[in-house]
Structure 1
Amino acid sequence: MKVTLVYISLIISLIITFVRTQSVAFDSSISIQLFHALDSNNPDSFTSRGNISIVSINSADYQINQKPLKQNELQLFKDLAKNGKFYRLRAEVISTDGIKTSFLTSSKACHLMESQLHDFLTISFDHNNVVVSINLRPVNLETFSDCDDSFLKSVNSNAFNTVVTLKNIDIAPSPDTVGFIQKLEREREQRERGENSKDNRSFLQKYWMYIVPAVILLLISGVSNPEAQGSASGNGNQR
């Protein structure tokens, strides 16, 4: 029963991998819609921020279009920063067959404000050019302050300046699942036939690795000591 379940899981995994591979052609274009949550009173309310069109994954060729923040949106953003809240970004990846996959990432709003809305967006792909993660972070994150109110006065930008990085994730060698399942199946069949508890091999088949070296040593010792053989032959002639 356990082996059957393992087989079923393996087949489902192979089918999912095949479907995902077919849904994104090699080095095909990808569209990503960006939405952000600015209202701290409605944290699950997302509005449009812009979109990214990836023309070529291999050459990291992309185009990004983002909307400037309206005055009320900028004020909501400042309120998030002032209250130590997180800025949340939702990215919807649209494959060539229309399937949407959503990713959620966040950063402290005050850090984004302090960076003058200058941020990095890292898009990671697996070996099939399928998006597996999207992460947002402000520039110069290591030099930010403790998010006091003073930085809000220096904010003079209402438009995002985003640098997109396309990253391929190295996949570790996968385990030999098929070989392991086949081994389990053979062991199960052997147990059912009772072959594990009884060894029907002959004596020579079991211990040939010990017998052959002993015979070789005897032959070598006989060849290397011809005088003893000659002396024994001479004594026999004298009689």
Structure 2
Amino acid sequence: MRVPVLNPNYLLTSVLFVLFGSFDCSELDMDGEISLRLEHSLDMGKSWQDRGSLSFSKARSAIPTVNQGPLSDENLSTLENLCSKNMFYLIKVTGDGIGELQSYTPACTMLDSSLAEQITLFLDWRGNPVAANLASRIGVVGHKVTAGKFDTRVQIQSMENGPTPDTAAYIQKMEEEKSRKMSGEKPDNRSFFAKYWMYIVPLCFILLINSAGAPENGGR
């Protein structure tokens, strides 16, 4: 029995259609509100306390909102003790389907900034959080640290789309080659990669970008 052989041109075309079809479908996931729980640790991650919540819309123009109370006098004293030992203040962001996203900053910088901080959330190409980063905003003139009130800014960092290959031009080139073969013109004897490298290389580049994951910037 003769085993059918797949045409490499047909195989690559199918891969391109599946790949870009998934990109189009992902646009449907870019709507909706995401609510996350915010916790912090004052003993280097041995225990966690509820600190509040933050929420944002997947729409790029949306402004994140944070709901949280002040730091208690007891916790403020513990933070000062951490600073005296050159230890860290930790936060944890959790939510449905994202697991635990942790980050940290030196306890002393939190005190030096009067609890002024910036939390950066990194999103994947579907708009879901994959990493968090905490940084103190030192030099900000604001409330007194004894008030124990957080001055929190939240920044949303979305993954940018990389360059995409011109699939329409590729399909047109295939059709022209097929017409030349049918009309009896001299065939192109170059290898498959030599003829279509300009389409294969961008495709590999896109796959590498999407598999790279979120950047490691003090969080995980």
Query: Does the 8 Å contact 1:123/1:165 carry over to 2?
Result: yes
Of 126, 129, 142 in structure 1, the residue corresponding to residue 127 of structure 2 is: 129
Give the length in aligned residue pairs.
144
Of 155, 165, 174 in structure 2, the residue corresponding to residue 165 of structure 1 is: 155
Q: Secondary structure at the match of 1:68?
A: coil
After superposition, where does 1:98-177 map in structure 2 within 5 Å?
99-140=97-138, 155-172=145-162
| Cα offsets for 1:170-228 (capped at 9, x unmatched) | 244589xxxxxxxxxxxxxxxxxxxxxxxxxxxxx99x9xxxxxxxxxxxxxxxxxxxx
Q: Secondary structure at the match of 2:152?
A: strand
- For structure 2, the 5+ residue unaligned runs are 1-14, 166-185, 190-220
Using the size of structure 2 for normalisation, the TM-score is 0.56
Give distance in 2, aligned partners of 1:39 and 1:135.
19
RMSD of aligned C-alpha atoms? 3.1
Higher helix proportion (structure 1 or 2):
1
Identity %: 26
In the alignment, residue 64 of structure 2 is paired with which amino acid?
Answer: Y
Counterpart in 2 of 1:45? 47
Query: Does the 8 Å contact 1:121/1:134 carry over to 2?
Result: yes
- For structure 1, the 5+ residue unaligned runs are 1-9, 144-153, 176-204, 209-239
Moved beyond 6 Å, runs of 4+: none
Residues 1:63 and 2:61 aligned together? no
Using the size of structure 1 for normalisation, the TM-score is 0.52
Give distance in 1, aligned partners of 2:155 and 2:81.
29
